[in-house]
Each structure stands twice: as C-alpha cells, then as structure tokens.
C-alpha cells in the first residue's frame, strides 16, 4: 500500500511450497480474517492443494457458489489490479456427528485418546494421567471404547463392588478421581457431546482429495454451535490433525503440500490446556511439516498462540488490532514486538488498517521471511455469502463419502461386554446362593432325621462351595478371542503424540 492506494506492480504472495511452513492469520472481529482464509483456500485449490477449514459462521460455504459481481466489488478489484472472475470451487461439507448439514464426522473414544479427552473434560494433570490408566486397562482387557457410554460404563464398573479389585490393579487410580471423571463425562453427555463419538470413524485421509479437473477439494466443517462446547470442537480438530500426522508417510519438503489445514478460533485450543497437551501440540506442529501438511492458525491476536507454537509459524497475516483498553494496548505492543524491524510504525499502522487490509510477512522460495508489507487482500472469486441451504443439502446427499459415513453404527463394545459380564456375575451369584440354600436345607433335614433316629449314623455336612468367580481380566485374557487378538499385532491399538490411536 502507498499513500495513493495499492501498488499493483508489487504483488505479495506466499509460494505454494511454503504453505507447509505454517502460518498465522490474526485480527480483531470484523477485520476480514475469514475472507483472507477464503482467498488463500481458493489459491491453494487452483494449485491442486486440498484444504480443510472450520466454517464457524457459515460464510465459507459460499465457496461452492460463484461470486456476485457488482460496482463496489469491481471498483475494488480494478484499484488493486486483480484479474477477477466469478468462480465456484469444489467443496465437501462436514458436520460433527451429523449435527448440521454435512457428512457426519465421528471418532471413537479409544482413538481420541486420554490426553485429548482430558482437555475436553477440563481435567488436571493427575486426573488426565488416571484417565490414561483407564484407557490402558480397556486396551489390555479387550474392551472397545467406541462412544461415551462405553467409557461411562467402564468407570462405573471399576468403582462398583465387582470391579474395585480391577481398579486397584491398574496403578492405584483413586475412586474419587474416577468419580470426578465420571461426573464430567455425564455432564458432557447431557450437553450433547456424545454425538461426536462413535462409528463409522472418519478417515482423515479422505481430506486429501482432488476434483476431476485437478483442483484441490475444499473440505468445510460446519460448527454452528461453537459456543456450547468450544473445547470439544477445537480438540476434535486437533484429533484430525494428530491422526493425519500418525497415518501419513514422511515426504520432507515438497513443491506442493498434501493438505493445508486452517485452524479457526485457535485460542479455544490453548485455553486452560495442560502442559502435556501444549507440548503435544508444539511437537505436532513442528513435525507435521515433514508429512507435507501446512497448518494456519486463525485467531484474534498472536498472544492467543503459545510462543513455542508461534515460533513455528513462518507466514503472518495481521489484520487490524484495536487498542480501546489497557489490555488491548498491551496486546498491541506484544504483537508489534513479534515482527521484524520495518519502515512502518506498526503500533500506528495496526490500529488504522481498513477492512481487508493487513500487515503481511511471508516465507520466500528460499525459506527466508520477507520484509513487512502493508497489503490489501484480493477479493474472493467465490461467493462471500453462504450458499443456499437447499444446494448444500443436495451436494451432501450426492457426495461419494455419504454411503460410507452417513449411517451411524452401534456394534458390540465395552458397554455391552460389561453388561453381559455383570449379568453373568449376577446369575452366578444367584446360582451360588441357591446351591448354598439347598445345602443348608439338606443339612437341616439330615440333622432333623438324625435327632429322630438316634441309631442312624450321621453324615458329614457337605462343605460350603468356595468357588471364586474369575475377575474380568481373567475371563477376557483366558478367552480364545483375546488370545487371537494378542497374536494379531495389526489389531493392537497404537497411541501417538496425544495418546490417540485407532485400530488399523
């Protein structure tokens, strides 16, 4: 930007190969972050790069429809020398658990893992580690944890009279800690959190798709109820990223990224996070570049992102910041300090940027940061308004992924197994009680006959049965199914950075 307007002969671009060096899009509400994300997604799609983004407000669904020309738009693109033409882009629409319009995204509790689930439940580090032991016990006992009811039933079992011995045997998890976890799970269940957990589990590899014309598919996850369960939404996105990290091969630096992942409302991910959770995020961001995946965090200020993560973000697009309060002024000063020295007075420029303008520094083709530039962002070629709901529903219904993920599955899992175990235990106890009562009656009859017939030799009373009901672990590990499970390494659960893993 110059005093006379945009300098059309000085375009600012991020090389496609540098998108897997990660980045940040920041700015106050209403300053144009979503449209910046839309412009980046369009450019990546044209370059054949698949894109994933959370559609917080529903605006990004407009990418499936061509933009609407108008005098105001034409004046803007002419002023900045943009060769604009209306165009739709290939989109796939998702909804967590089918809540909303989109292909249902689900994950099993087991693959979600204890660290990510602990973040959702707001557990402290001790409670989080205890939850990890419960997951370990479920793995060893062959109890699939598919949905929240499976985990709730397992915790109830471990704190019941029948399961207390099992609880002591998995590392000293206290009943009070299990009670806290159980209460938080029940609260999450009552708030509708169970809709995201279950089967069929989504394969993140399905995000790496291209359309027939070679453009990358833009995958949009609808999040209309973000305010009701913000931690769950943000943590689910982290699960997607972690699962991609585990499943994709090492490719090193690539000319064209395999996927670019836009992480909107990133501050929700880091709020009240445990140290182990933050360490895992930092490690994931640092290492996932070698899998050909780029991650862009979208938030209001850079201070929303921990410094260790911020240090991994090569490209920065900073929209207007506001300094109406002392805290705002402090955040502005902190933001300015994170940029290289430039000819701008960034403290002044950042509070005077117009909508759709930003301070930008990106990675050049050699991987070096470019000087800071005051930039006007190009206008999207697709619609800046949401796509008509009827069109969305039709697109979702015709998606090739709908037959695979559209119908929920409720197969045999920990809840059913424990229910059968407890029922069998109850039947065994009833049978044992019946035998004991019969023995007592028989002894009483024999004693009565002995008193009435003194010459009759009394028979010794039968010994009371001492048969012990096998524990859950003994029952499962002694079964043929478990032995087969143990012999088949491919069916073992492998947990990664977040303690997350799926049966592969």
Report which of 385, 377, 371, 308 is spatially closest to residue 343, judged by C-alpha positions: 371
184 lies in which domain range? Answer: 108-200+409-432+470-504
Query: Of 399, 417, 445, which one is at a domain's C-terminal end?
Result: 399
Helix, strand or coil, per DSSP, at residue 361 = strand
User: Distance from CA of residue 416 to its chain's centroid?
Assistant: 26
Confidence at residue 425, expressed as pLDDT on a 0 to 100 scale:
64
* The 3-state secondary structure of 35-86, one letter per residue: HHHHHHHHHHHHCCCCEEEEECCCHHHHHHCECCCCHHHHHHHHHCCCCCCC
The pTM assigned to this predicted structure is 0.81
State the Cα–Cα distance between residues 332 and 313, nearest whole angstrom.
Answer: 19
Same domain, 125 and 146: yes
Same domain, 189 and 313: no
Q: Is 455:461 a contact under the CB 8 Å cutoff?
A: no
Same domain, 277 and 138: no
Tell me, yes or no, whether 240 lies in a domain.
yes
Q: Is 36:355 a contact under the CB 8 Å cutoff?
A: no
Same domain, 289 and 372: yes
Same domain, 87 and 172: no
Q: Is 470:462 a contact under the CB 8 Å cutoff?
A: no
Q: Is 84:379 a contact under the CB 8 Å cutoff?
A: yes
Burial letters 470-504, b for 16+ CB under 10 A, else e: eebbebbbeeeebeeeeeeeeeebebebbbbbbee
167 forms bridges with which residues in the sheet? none
* The 3-state secondary structure of 318-333, one letter per residue: ECCCCCCCHHHHHHHH
Tell me, yes or no, whether 304 lies in a domain.
yes
Q: Is 106:201 a contact under the CB 8 Å cutoff?
A: yes
Confidence at residue 417, expressed as pLDDT on a 0 to 100 scale:
87
Tell me, yes or no, whether 438 lies in a domain.
no
Same domain, 93 and 233: yes
Same domain, 154 and 228: no
Tell me, yes or no, whether 456 lies in a domain.
no
Helix axes 148-158, 175-190, angle to 10 degrees: 150
Same domain, 86 and 126: no
State the Cα–Cα distance between residues 363 and 119, nearest whole angstrom.
Answer: 33
Same domain, 354 and 369: yes
Same domain, 77 and 191: no
State the Cα–Cα distance between residues 225 and 477, nearest whole angstrom.
Answer: 43
Count structural domains, the chain. 2
Confidence at residue 1, expressed as pLDDT on a 0 to 100 scale:
61
State the Cα–Cα distance between residues 119 and 113, nearest whole angstrom.
Answer: 10
The one-digit pLDDT tens for each residue of the chain (504 residues) are 666 667 777 888 899 999 989 999 999 888 999 999 999 999 999 999 999 998 887 889 999 999 999 999 999 999 888 999 999 999 999 998 877 889 999 999 999 889 889 888 888 888 988 899 899 989 888 999 999 999 999 998 888 887 878 877 777 688 888 889 999 998 888 877 778 899 999 998 999 999 999 999 999 998 776 666 777 788 888 888 888 888 889 998 889 999 999 988 888 888 877 787 888 888 889 999 999 999 999 998 888 898 899 989 999 999 999 888 888 888 888 888 878 777 888 889 999 999 899 999 998 888 888 889 999 999 999 999 999 989 999 999 999 999 999 998 888 888 888 888 777 766 776 777 788 888 888 888 888 888 776 555 555 555 555 555 565 555 554 554 444 444 433 334 445 667 776 654
State the Cα–Cα distance between residues 293 and 45, nearest whole angstrom.
Answer: 14
Q: Is 268:218 a contact under the CB 8 Å cutoff?
A: no
Pairing status of strand 357-361 against strand 91-96 = unpaired
Same domain, 136 and 163: yes
Tell me, yes or no, whether 442 lies in a domain.
no
Query: Of 374, 399, 424, which one is at a domain's C-terminal end?
Result: 399
Tell me, yes or no, whether 450 lies in a domain.
no
State the Cα–Cα distance between residues 129 and 134, nearest whole angstrom.
Answer: 9
Cα–Cα distances in Å, from 198 out to 137, 146, 178, 405, 414? Answer: 20, 5, 22, 11, 12
Query: Of 375, 399, 423, which one is at a domain's C-terminal end?
Result: 399
Same domain, 151 and 258: no
215 forms bridges with which residues in the sheet? none
Q: Is 63:383 a contact under the CB 8 Å cutoff?
A: yes
Tell me, yes or no, whether 271 lies in a domain.
yes
User: Distance from CA of residue 352 to its chain's centroid?
Assistant: 36
Confidence at residue 3, expressed as pLDDT on a 0 to 100 scale:
63
Tell me, yes or no, whether 459 lies in a domain.
no
State the Cα–Cα distance between residues 18 and 394, nearest whole angstrom.
Answer: 36
Q: Where are the alpha helices (DSSP H) in 453-478?
A: 472-477
Confidence at residue 486, expressed as pLDDT on a 0 to 100 scale:
43
Q: What is the CATH number of the domain that holds 365?
A: 3.40.50.300
Cα–Cα distances in Å, from 481 out to 34, 116, 141, 410, 488? Answer: 51, 30, 11, 20, 11
Confidence at residue 379, expressed as pLDDT on a 0 to 100 scale:
94
């Amino acid at each position: 930007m110059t005093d006379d307007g945009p300098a059309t002969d000085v375009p600012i671009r991020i090389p496609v190969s540098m998108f897997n060096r990660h980045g940040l899009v920041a700015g106050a509400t209403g300053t144009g972050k979503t449209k910046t994300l839309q412009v980046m997604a369009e450019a990546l799609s044209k370059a054949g790069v698949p894109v994933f983004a959370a559609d917080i407000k529903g605006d990004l669904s407009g990418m499936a429809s061509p933009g609407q020309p108008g005098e105001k738009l034409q004046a803007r693109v002419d002023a900045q020398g943009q060769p604009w033409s209306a165009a739709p882009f290939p989109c796939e629409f998702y909804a967590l658990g089918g809540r909303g319009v989109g292909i249902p995204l689900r994950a099993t509790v087991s693959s979600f893992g204890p660290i990510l689930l602990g973040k959702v439940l707001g557990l402290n580090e001790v409670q989080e580690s205890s939850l990890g032991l419960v997951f370990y016990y479920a793995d060893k006992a062959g109890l699939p944890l598919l949905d929240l009811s499976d985990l709730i039933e397992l915790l109830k079992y471990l704190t019941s009279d029948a399961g207390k011995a099992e609880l002591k045997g998995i590392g000293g998890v206290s009943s009070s800690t299990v009670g806290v976890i159980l209460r938080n799970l029940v609260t999450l269940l009552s708030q509708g959190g169970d809709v995201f957990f279950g089967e069929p589990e989504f394969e993140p590899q399905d995000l790496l798709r291209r359309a027939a014309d070679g453009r990358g598919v833009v995958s949009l996850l609808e999040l209309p109820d973000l305010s009701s369960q913000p931690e769950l939404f943000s943590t689910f996105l982290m699960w997607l990223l972690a699962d991609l990290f585990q499943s994709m091969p090492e490719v090193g630096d690539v000319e064209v990224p395999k996927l670019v992942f836009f992480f909107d409302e990133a501050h929700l991910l880091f709020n009240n996070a445990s140290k182990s959770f933050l360490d895992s995020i930092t490690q994931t961001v640092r290492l996932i570049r070698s899998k050909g995946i780029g991650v862009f965090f979208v938030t209001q200020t850079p201070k929303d992102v921990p410094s260790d993560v911020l240090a991994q973000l090569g490209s920065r697009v900073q929209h207007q910041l506001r300094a109406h309060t002392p805290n705002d002024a402090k955040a502005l000063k902190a933001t300015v300090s994170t940029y290289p020295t430039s000819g701008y007075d960034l403290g002044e420029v950042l509070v005077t940027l117009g909508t759709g303008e930003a301070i930008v520094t990106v990675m050049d083709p050699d991987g070096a940061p470019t000087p800071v530039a005051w930039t006007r962002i190009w206008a999207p070629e697709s619609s800046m308004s949401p796509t008509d709901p009827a069109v969305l529903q039709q697109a979702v219904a015709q998606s090739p992924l709908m037959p695979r993920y559209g119908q929920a599955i409720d197969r045999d899992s920990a809840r059913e197994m424990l229910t059968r175990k407890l029922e069998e235990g109850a039947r065994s106890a009833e049978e044992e009680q019946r035998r004991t009562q019969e023995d007592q009656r028989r002894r009483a009859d024999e004693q009565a006959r002995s008193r009435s017939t003194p010459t009759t030799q009394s028979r010794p009373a039968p010994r009371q049965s001492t048969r012990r009901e096998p524990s859950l672990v003994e029952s499962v590990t002694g079964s043929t199914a478990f032995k087969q499970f143990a012999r088949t390494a491919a069916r073992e659960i492998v947990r990664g950075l977040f303690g997350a893993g799926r049966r592969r």
